[in-house]
Structure 1
């Protein structure tokens, strides 16, 4: 519908001699926003396998559009497990930044950019444009005037989180008594180039660190070292995460130095996080060049702070961790036939589902009641659980295969023996070993396991 609207708009412009201003970003944006690529039809291709698993495991909504956006590090329609993985990843990012330094404060800024500062990517009201194209009561001049007015009134969407932090800088100076260093952290959506000439939305996490000019280089090295350690903390293969200094010809405008944290995908390295040493020019420009009102104390000396920017693409990070966690395990079935077992070995802290409950085929009312009670107990304790009532027709082997592909840490089987003795079987995703545990022990076991995983 949107593509048809833009086609009609171009035809209208050509036939009625309507001149569209240089901000005719709309056609290019719409044309490229939903551009898709086709993965090779090869079962041995790990990328294709992972994207299929993303859909089958409820991480990404079905459809080539969504899997293509996800592969390119953009926002897409996520499924239940994708939402949980993203939430867990953002929580860990936020926790690591807040724990790393005491003088880091959270902020929230609007998604609309500041056109005066040149920030933002215009967003058009397509429905209103359709109405103008369909309206017969306007002549050529009137139609032109209204379309141009619509373009001028279009909302400007932010292209980064940095500008919002710079604008809020003065508001929080009293909070830190004008003493350096300190930082402002934020997570949210912004619009970035998607590699096809247009802009698309992605979820970013940002730390803007204000420090003294004499120590800015050391602070960049500090954050680069700390951030690489964090990325590798949750990795199954830490060496696939690496950092590199940015070459002079690749530096962001206004930056004197830069560091990129990258992940090695099968198709090449992709940037997960950018760290920039930006000096004081952006801060001065944001506040009209008035040095007096933005100065802070570096010891006893008043200085204009230098800015260190740390920006993480959380959508691409999800793809990186899922790719890093996917393993193909060789296994023999009951007939000694060799097959490949796909396991998404996400770090326990990131795994969207910690435990799945299985009642087996032909579950009785009593089994269902026990399952529902245990499920509620887990949820009350903050343990994400997958209900056993979703699939009660599949065999235990098929369910285990499904849960392994979903990345579920443990599967607990509630059977007739559980009703008689209170004992259930607990299967581990990583070892496939089954252990017998009393139903009164399983919540404590999971809480201890997660506590240990957080301290790894």
Structure 2
């Protein structure tokens, strides 16, 4: 297949709006490493993805026990290979996966659930990976490894423990649930797919089953999450270690079993990029007399991020028309801003932004703000503001006394979580 790059306009937008910035920095061994820094919008988007992932873990459909844990990044007893700009090297004390740390909490969590199955241990945290240009992407080579070449990534890992007799059903159920989780945030859900199941022989002659959740990136299908059916191998190894022989056993009804384990591990940076690509839209601006005078076609392109409302960094923006000079208008705008923020939604209140309303719309569209509340000088007389919808660009008049109600109606899911 012919490989492609991420749209240049998207990369430019992410840089201009301070979503993410690529940096090359010296590392412990003196070699250079690729890392990424995230500005306010990028950091909020990442935070929202992680929050939704944690909510999915805790508030799962089957009402299973889930325990979130955190471990220190330093792991002095383990060595992790990292990629460098020259060659592979071994750096002490940096973890490459969260699974060993999660397994370290298994026995204590087992006590919490009175040794009854099933239950989940989940963690998010920074890990260090070796970057390979074609890793997990058999269909093509990435021309631009943007975010895929990060040596520092954030893992989101779940370890699900169940009885061996229900393992295959649970593994199939996990595939459906995790695929649905990604698709619920996408404008084009079919771009998220699941791979065929791969069988890998284990050291005890059993088979380890694995599959991947894939996204259709510009260069082809690539991995955003891995699912692995480990069977009871990990717990057998833990049972064979000293002082843990009987403590790994669990109950399923009246049966005493060695639990089986299913791992679901996603890399935040890959999901972050997949959802940005999915949300990126380029549209021709509505023809006006001003637009007709523009000779550069690129200036007539309207770029926006059509992010899901749960993920978008800011939900509402409040702005004042530049024609309004009265002090009372600003005081009213500050009141509206307080009203919206009292609904516990992330709100932008840049009341001193220069430029026309259209330029402000462009700015807010490019960071994915779904609703813009426009305060005009006439609002002082009528009490009406305009609420602009990002996706339709339609402006709806709403009385300031109904603003909180309007926010509640359109962002109900957020208010339910806040409450």
TM tier, shorter chain?
A: 0.7 to 0.9
Describe the superposition over 1:403-451 as per-residue Cα deviations: whole angstroms up to 9, x where unpaired: 1111111111111111222211111101111111111211221122111
Counterpart for residue 328 of structure 1: 282
* 1:182–1:209 contact (8 Å) kept in structure 2: yes
After TM superposition, give the deviation of residue 388 of structure 1 in Å.
2.6
* 1:113–1:121 contact (8 Å) kept in structure 2: no
Q: 1:295 aligns with which of 212, 236, 249?
A: 249
What secondary structure is seen at the aligned counterpart in 1 of 2:344?
A: coil
CA RMSD of aligned residues (A): 3.0
Describe the superposition over 1:126-174 as per-residue Cα deviations: whole angstroms up to 9, x where unpaired: xxxxxxxxxxxxxxxxxxxxxxxxx99x751221111111111001222
2:391 is the alignment partner of 1:430: yes
* 1:113–1:120 contact (8 Å) kept in structure 2: no
**What does 1:21-420 align with in structure 2 at a 5 Å threshold?**
47-61=7-21, 76-100=36-60, 101-113=63-75, 115=77, 118=78, 120=80, 156-195=93-132, 200-248=151-199, 256-286=208-238, 288-289=240-241, 290-335=244-289, 337=292, 339-361=300-322, 363-391=325-353, 393-420=354-381
TM-score, length of structure 2 as denominator length:
0.81
* 1:122–1:156 contact (8 Å) kept in structure 2: no
After TM superposition, give the deviation of residue 364 of structure 1 in Å.
2.9
After TM superposition, give the deviation of residue 288 of structure 1 in Å.
4.5
Q: Name the stretch that deviates more: 442-451 or 219-228.
A: 442-451
What secondary structure is seen at the aligned counterpart in 1 of 2:228?
A: strand
What are structure 2's unaligned runs of at least 5 residues?
Answer: 26-33, 84-88, 136-148
- Higher Cα Rg, which structure: 1
Q: Name the stretch that deviates more: 283-292 or 429-438.
A: 283-292
Separation in structure 1 between the aligned mates of residue 175 and residue 199 of structure 2, nearest angstrom? 18
After TM superposition, give the deviation of residue 340 of structure 1 in Å.
2.5
* 1:251–1:257 contact (8 Å) kept in structure 2: no
Counterpart for residue 408 of structure 2: 447
What are structure 1's unaligned runs of at least 5 residues?
Answer: 1-38, 67-73, 124-150
Separation in structure 2 between the aligned mates of residue 106 and residue 64 of structure 1, nearest angstrom? 31
Describe the superposition over 1:279-314 as per-residue Cα deviations: whole angstroms up to 9, x where unpaired: 233334345535422111122221111111011111
What secondary structure is seen at the aligned counterpart in 2 of 1:207?
A: strand
Separation in structure 2 between the aligned mates of residue 448 and residue 82 of structure 1, nearest angstrom? 26
Describe the superposition over 1:189-217 as per-residue Cα deviations: whole angstroms up to 9, x where unpaired: 11122226998111111110111122212
Separation in structure 1 between the aligned mates of residue 207 and residue 332 of structure 2, nearest angstrom? 60
* 2:369–2:390 contact (8 Å) kept in structure 1: yes
Counterpart for residue 10 of structure 1: none
What secondary structure is seen at the aligned counterpart in 2 of 1:368?
A: helix
CA gap of 1:269–1:113, structure 2 versus 1, over 3 A, is farther
* More strand as a share of residues: 2
What secondary structure is seen at the aligned counterpart in 2 of 1:375?
A: helix
* 1:114–1:120 contact (8 Å) kept in structure 2: no
Separation in structure 2 between the aligned mates of residue 453 and residue 433 of structure 1, nearest angstrom? 23
What secondary structure is seen at the aligned counterpart in 1 of 2:263?
A: strand
TM-score, length of structure 1 as denominator length:
0.75
CA gap of 1:365–1:431, structure 2 versus 1, over 3 A, is same
CA gap of 1:83–1:251, structure 2 versus 1, over 3 A, is farther
